Chain A
């Protein structure tokens, strides 16, 4: 086992030393704090990066594996009815209309939008609340964690040993909005044979 872990560590060190830098990612990161470019585009932030930020501020990270993929973030956001107009696309650059839409949905205020096809209404709604739409990294932090998060994290059939669950929760956990019960240890006949089912003494010990 130790040998395997050493190999994994060696691969990581190799990656850090040998592999080339990623200018595009660096630029994307800088773009998070930049200003929007005149038209619809907010900043060079992809929808994948936006989804990663949203699952953090919405308190959904604990329902996902460590370092979730963009797809896992999209999936849990979809479970919570949070999606851009044309759906999630990991490499698509975020525009103001999509940012406004997902932020309003994350605030669970989509019921206040009368014409859901009108991009301007979503943007104007946020402007009315005083929430800026110029930078993704700034806008998402106006959102509070979801009080009623939806995720199938209890019953999901995970086979990956890094993420599988053992159902040890002392009380109900919300699973897709419904409570899933902690399962008490089920007793076996073996325990009866071993004397675990013992008569209660007539007088206290």
Chain B
């Protein structure tokens, strides 16, 4: 991990050297506080005999933005605390989110962008009655992206990018099947055809490695995309290509499938914003012993300003995960099947004044699994979960 230490030194040095050049204007520091009271009707994600609980969620969000002549640094840290009124195993969770963005322009045509996201989650052992429903699932999740972009013409640029993602569970029993490392390298050539249209070609290489039994793979992606401004109120982008995945397990072999995604942003009125899209690709999975899933996802989001102070938000997503028994590293365990996952969330906010908002929200999750064991037993439990909350957000 020596390189990460050098990277930290480099980042800190870069900021320190140029800090004196920081611009005047907005405040470089921001602090927000959000507190919510929530009712959760299925805290263990059970099919029947659900356990419910009230909870109190407290979040503090610290933001630092430094805008220098050629460098922009943004740091966001959000610790959060949850108190559960009726969760016998453990009444509190303490979580952490950290996001760092660094953009640096070396010259008019050469730029660097670094994005770091770190998540620390506490998911304590859950005990229902006299049975341990889930082991302690405390985890670390981290992604680090680096992209170098070079503009060799005003309308044409090439980007070389890399990514590392890792997941680590504290509990050995969980980590031996779930922990992963993903390394990605990518090259993108992008050209602006006309002001309204840009096209791109992309090449990606991805390596997925798991801690325990080998569900890993190496993939190559090649594709093309287009970004289009249809009108001042409508813009969209689409990407499509082909993915070749070679699994580490010889029994699983390899698979080639097309991939693609599409997204549209639309403003039918000045007060209404809509975003919709869909995507299909092979994706890694948390469902052992499968080494991969074919994932189809559609989503839609709506934001509507009812008045200057009252806003309404609605968002939903539907995911279909298809599992093929030929892609299981232990073929005598499971049959082919698919999981369906629906998620809906809505929220209303009222801006009391410049710095305070009160809010109310509802979230719904419906998970239905069609994956069964070779003995024809349900492999994962179906569940539905509702959460309702009211809260207060303030910006200091």
Q: Give the B-binding residues of A (Cβ under 8 A).
A: 1, 4-5, 8-9, 11-12, 15-16, 19-22, 24-26, 28-29, 56-57, 59, 61-62, 65-67, 69-72, 74-75, 78-81, 83, 86-92, 111, 116, 138, 141-145, 147-148, 150, 152, 155-164, 166, 168-172, 175-190, 194, 196-200
Contact = CB atoms under 8 A, between A and B. Distances in A.
B195 A92 contact: yes
B271 to A, nearest CB: 8
Contact of B103 (A56, A65, A111, A185): A56
Given A22-B109, A200-B132, A176 B315 contact: yes
B140 to A, nearest CB: 9
B109 A56 contact: no
Interface string B224-244: 000101011101010100000
A111 B308 contact: yes
A107 B301 CA distance: 23
B370 interface: no
Contact of B195 (A28, A90, A157, A170): A90
B343 interface: yes
A11 to B, nearest CB: 6
Nearest to A165: B143
A177 B348 CA distance: 9
A161 to B, nearest CB: 4
Contacts of B229: 71, 74, 87-89
A57 B66 CA distance: 9
A156 B263 contact: yes
B195 A159 contact: no
B299 interface: yes
A61 B198 CA distance: 21
A144 B27 contact: yes
A57 B219 CA distance: 36
Interface residues of B, number: 154
B121 A182 contact: yes
A57 B265 CA distance: 22
Contacts of A150: 273, 303, 313
Contact of A179 (B151, B277, B345, B380): B345
Given A8-B185, A56-B103, A176-B301, 4 more contacts: A66-B114, A89-B229, A158-B279, A190-B333
B135 A12 contact: no
B161 A66 contact: yes
A64 B162 CA distance: 15
B65 A57 contact: yes
A178 B229 CA distance: 26
B221 interface: yes
List of 5 A-B pairs having minimum Cβ-Cβ separation, nearest first: A87-B232, A157-B279, A177-B313, A170-B121, A170-B95
A10 B358 CA distance: 53
Contacts of A56: 65, 67, 72, 74, 101, 103
A65 B115 contact: yes
B119 to A, nearest CB: 5
Given A79-B273, A168-B141, A197-B133, A1 B204 contact: no
Contact of B145 (A26, A65, A142): A65
B179 interface: no
B57 A171 contact: yes
Interface in B283-326: 283, 286-289, 297-299, 301-303, 305, 308, 311, 313-317
Contacts of B41: none
B173 interface: yes
Interface stretch (B3-11, B12-20, B248-256, B361-369): B361-369
B113 to A, nearest CB: 4
B379 A176 contact: no
